[in-house]
Amino acid sequence: MFTGIVTDVGKVATIEKPGDTRFVIETAYEPTGIAMGASIACDGCCLTVVEKGTVNGTHWFAVDASKETLDCTTLGGWQVGQGINLERALKVGDELGGHIVSGHVDGVGEIVGIHDEGQSKRFRFRAPEALKKFIAPKGSVTLSGTSLTVNEVEGDIFGVNIIPHTQEVTTWGRAQVGDKINLEIDVLARYVARLTQED
C-alpha cells in the first residue's frame, strides 16, 4: 500500500531479459534499509525487490516484471537512463499525505496538453475509455505514482495542476505532450461503481 507521495526519482540503470524482464534501478534509498521482497512503487507500479546493493557509492535495487506487467503499464517502453518516480511501501503510523494507492495500474493514459498556469502547469490527460467513468472533478487519481487532484473532466479528457515543488521532486518537470503515463483510479471510486452496478 502506498500514498502517491513520491520520495525519490530513480534511474533505470540496466534492462535484462533472462525470462521475465529485470530492471536495475539506481536510487537514493539506502539498500540496508530495504528488505528483500519489499514492495516499491516504480512510476506507480508495485514491484518486488529481488536484488539490491551499492556499487562505487551508487545505491540500486532490482525488480522483475512479467509480460503481463509490461503489456498493461508503461514499463514495456522504459529505456536505460530514464527517470522514474519511486515510493517505498506505507508503514503503520506514517503520514498519509496523498490518498490510498495500491500500486496496481488500471491502464495507460496519455498527456495531451501542457500549459503554464501561474507558476504551476496545467496538464491534460486522455484516460482509457473503460476508466473515464471513475475520474471525477475534485477526486483523486494516481498518475505515474503521484497522487493528484482532478480539476475538470470532459469525456475521456481530464486536467490536473502540478505545482512547482511537485515538478522539481518528481519526473513531472520533464514530462512532454505524447508521453504515456500509468493511471490508477481511486480505490473508493472503484468500490462505489461496484456497489451501484446492477446485477
Q: Hey, where are the domains in the chain?
A: 8-88, 107-196
pTM: 0.92
What is the per-residue pLDDT for 98?
77
Beta partners for residue 26, in sequence order: 11, 60
Instruction: Tell me the per-residue pLDDT of 101-120, one tens digit each, with 9 for 90 and over.
Output: 999 999 999 999 999 999 99
Residue where the block lists cell 468500490: 191
Q: What is the pLDDT of residue 198?
A: 60
Pick the CATH number of 107-196 from 3.30.70.120, 3.40.50.800, 3.30.1300.10, 2.40.30.20: 2.40.30.20
pLDDT reported for residue 78: 97
Sites in the chain below the pLDDT cut of 50: none
Please determine, looking at this structure, whether the domain spanning 8-88 carries the CATH number 2.40.30.20.
Answer: yes
Give yes or no on whether 8-88 and 107-196 have one common fold: yes
